[in-house]
Structure 1
Amino acid sequence: MPFQLRFGQDDLLRCRFAVSPLWETQEAVRTLNRPERHAYHPRWLRRIRAAGRGLDLSLLWLLMPRRGHSPDFLGPPPIGPAARFEEEIAAVRAADPVAARDDMARALACTAGAAESPRGRALLADPVGAVQELADTMEAAWHALVEPDWPRLRTLLEADVAYHSRRLAEVGLGGVLPELDRRLSWDAGTLTVEWRDEHVRDLSGQGLVLIPSVFSWPDVISGFEPPWQPTLAYPVRGIAALWAEPESRTPESLVRLLGRGRARVLAALAVPDTTSGLAHRLGLAPSSVSAHLAALRGAGLLMSRRYGHRVFYECTPLGIALGAGGGVAQELE
């Protein structure tokens, strides 16, 4: 059944991309309770196994029904294009307790018996305390589950934003929205999402926030009731290479052709990255990575794109062919 977002003239001018560490934290918590998502993040799950056992996430899970509403105040639309977690969690702590209680009641109603359970009743009886307890739990989840990997995650998310921003300039909003995911379609000012339930919303001049997401992968999630700005989270590009070790993806034929250092850098750029991001992932000095990037770019294997203050490197078509370890590399041996 369709989920439709209807755009007016002003909405077309108020669409933006954003990256949210709070959103990723919320979805990481949800992922731990969703076995169907586990196959996409095996390395992350192994890393956080001990930390996850030390967290009590049951209160957050109570407000994350399998189907239906999750409280908007726990993961509001990002404040800006690259908000810090500290800024976002401060907004959660400042939530209006009356609105938060209504938000929680709606979420609890989506799971049979949740509102009448002892913990559900406690949440509704003391919304001021509930907001602070939930924010504390979310902050603990951030430090244990997401923060250690945030440089890697942020790089992937920002590279996705840079890519789709470039596509936006090339093909316009109506062209780029269906490229975000196969379940999205655009026709005459209406964005349609393949959805389980039927829902129609006029954006009414608020525009739309578009969030690439790692941990909500492979789902498309849209929501936020007034007064929140409408938001749509979509699966980030490059998830397949996110948790892989770069060394294991470096073909020996590429090493013999370029040398090990440059081959590792080129192979690692299956996902666009920055100089510092590559240095962190590969365990190399930033100066060495910078020299390799300059040589690869000079050879026509890489191109660079700026996103804010960060410069991302990605492979050209020739670089993609060589990085894959087949075709061109084999022919050049």
Structure 2
Amino acid sequence: MGLLHHFGHEDLLRCRFALSPAWETQEAVRTLNRPDRQGYHLPWLRRLRADAAGLDGLDLRPLWLLMPRRGHSTDFISPPPSGPGVSFEEELALIRAADPAVAREDMRKALACTPGALDSEPGRSLLADPARAVRELADLLERAWRVLVEPYWPRLRALLEADILFHSRRLAAGGLEALFDGLHPGLSWDSASLTLTIERHSHHERVLGGRGLLLMPSAFVWPGIAGGFDPPWQPTVVYPARGIGALWAPVREHTPAPLARLLGRARADVLCALEEPASTTALAHRLGLAPSTVSAHLAVLRDAGLLISARHGHQVRYERTPLAIALTSGEPAG
């Protein structure tokens, strides 16, 4: 039993990573309605509730109706991203451009997975005018992005990019077998048949047919794993990103007092925040400091031999040197 992805030799060369603001948005919406998925995200929930004005008027019930606990979830409201650096605005444009006939069938399949949803008044309304439903759902997703995800996106993006970097290194060191072995307990790879299986209560098989597989880390999909995007969507597996447990934790709680005395509290906080490579913007958001302040601290730490920097696309990311790792962990460097 499970969702089986059958690879051909071309597919082995076309596995790649991406991240998706739209996916994180719809999974954040789902998390609000799923107490069993909220454990690591309780600090985020408290921040949302503290800003009650942000949640006022955000009626998420139409989206929740299309997110059954089991079975088909609506693909067109969270399509796999077209590239690694896609923006929410680009994904939203794709959602708005969904074919109403395709969207109707997509919604029908999702509604059928929740008893009574197809015959409910909201369900009938969605199917009666799919073009209007696409517009209204896209508008609702945009509002959800502005309230639930956009204020925290630098922190979330830093987590997702760090996960991609970690697993890219595993892929380089051990190939696909090592990569798939470390993504999720519910994922298994059979090298003899070139088959990747996601554990499921149902059975479904998909031949990749040369399209390869998109691998996408997510903060809000925890503790599960998602896959099974139907054609014409790119075959995709979404798995929980590493480090979710520390995602919402204040950095200052993890700064050793001796290090703060040595470097000064602010610079020590910056150094300890770099558990994974991150950009100035991501660090500033996480620490609650101005980007210019963080940039100045990063420059001093780099000049002192505690950081290295490398350009990735339009961003410069900073990473701790072995000496810095030793200082932040309290272990000897040699």
TM-score strictly above 0.5: yes
Q: Is the 8 A contact 1:279 1:286 kept in 2?
A: yes
How far did 1:216 drift?
1.0
RMSD: 2.1
**Equivalent residue in structure 2 for 1:69, among 69, 72, 75:** 72
Aligned-residue offset at 1:155:
1.6
- Distance change >3 Å, CA 25–CA 160, structure 1 → 2: same
**Per-residue deviation, 1:46:** 1.4
Question: Is residue 50 of structure 2 the alignment partner of residue 42 of structure 1?
Answer: no
**Equivalent-residue separation in structure 2 for 1:304 and 1:8 (angstroms):** 38
CA distance in 1, matches of 2:154, 2:278: 10
Compute the displacement of 1:140 (Å). Answer: 0.7
Deviation by residue 1:239-287 (Cα, 9 ceiling, x = unmatched): 1221111122212122234432332122111243123322333315143
Paired residue type of 2:175: G
| Count of equivalent residues | 326
Task: Give distance in 2, aligned partners of 1:276 and 1:81.
Answer: 18
Q: Per-residue CA shift, 1:173-227, capped at 9, x if unaligned?
A: 2321222223222222111223332222211111111111011122111121111
Report what 1:287 is aligned to: 295
CA contact (8 A) 1:95 1:131 kept: yes
Partner-residue secondary structure (3-state), 1:150? helix
Once the two structures are superposed, residues 140-192 of structure 1 have per-residue CA deviations (whole angstroms, 9 ceiling, x without a partner) of: 10111111111111122122222222332222223212222232222221112
* Unaligned residue ranges in structure 2 (runs of 5+): none
Cα distance in structure 2, aligned partners of 1:197 and 1:320: 45
Shift of 1:67: 0.6
- After TM superposition, give the deviation of residue 116 of structure 1 in Å: 0.2
5 Å-filtered alignment, 1:171-190, equals: 171-188=174-191, 189-190=194-195
> Which residue does 1:308 correspond to in 2?
313
Instruction: Give distance in 1, aligned partners of 2:244 and 2:197.
Output: 24
User: Alignment partner for residue 211 of structure 1, among 216, 225, 246?
Assistant: 216
Question: Kindly, what percent of the aligned residue pairs are identical?
Answer: 60
Distance 1:123 1:8, change over 3 A: same
Residues 271 and 42 from structure 1, CA distance in 2 versus in 1: closer, same or farther, beyond 3 angstroms? farther
The one-character-per-residue Cα deviations of 1:30-89 (angstroms, maximum 9, x if unpaired) are 000000111111221112222234310000000100111011111111021111111101
Aligned to 2:202: 197
Residue 152 (1) aligns with residue 155 (2):
yes
CA distance in 2, matches of 1:128, 1:276: 38
Q: State the AA in 1 paired with 2:273.
A: A
CA contact (8 A) 1:44 1:243 kept: yes
State the SS of the aligned residue for 1:191.
Answer: strand
> For 1:5 and 1:199, how far apart are their aligned partners in 2?
9
2:43 maps to 1:31: no
Task: Tell me the equivalent position of 1:91.
Answer: 94
TM-score under structure 2 normalisation? 0.91
Q: Kindly tell me: are residues 257 and 66 of structure 1, through their superposed partners in 2, closer, same or farther at Cα, counting changes over 3 Å?
A: same
Asked whether the equivalents of residues 279 and 289 of structure 1 are also in contact (C-alpha less than 8 Å), the reply is no
Which TM-score applies when normalising by structure 1?
0.91
Cα drift, residue 310 of structure 1: 2.3
Query: In 2, are the aligned partners of 1:241 and 1:271 still within 8 Å (CA)?
Result: no
The one-letter code of the counterpart of 2:255 is: T
Match of 2:107 among 104, 108, 113: 104
CA distance in 1, matches of 2:77, 2:212: 21
Distance 1:195 1:295, change over 3 A: farther
Cα offset for 1:291?
2.1
Amino acid at match of 2:190: D
Partners of 1:269 and 1:314 within 8 A in 2: yes
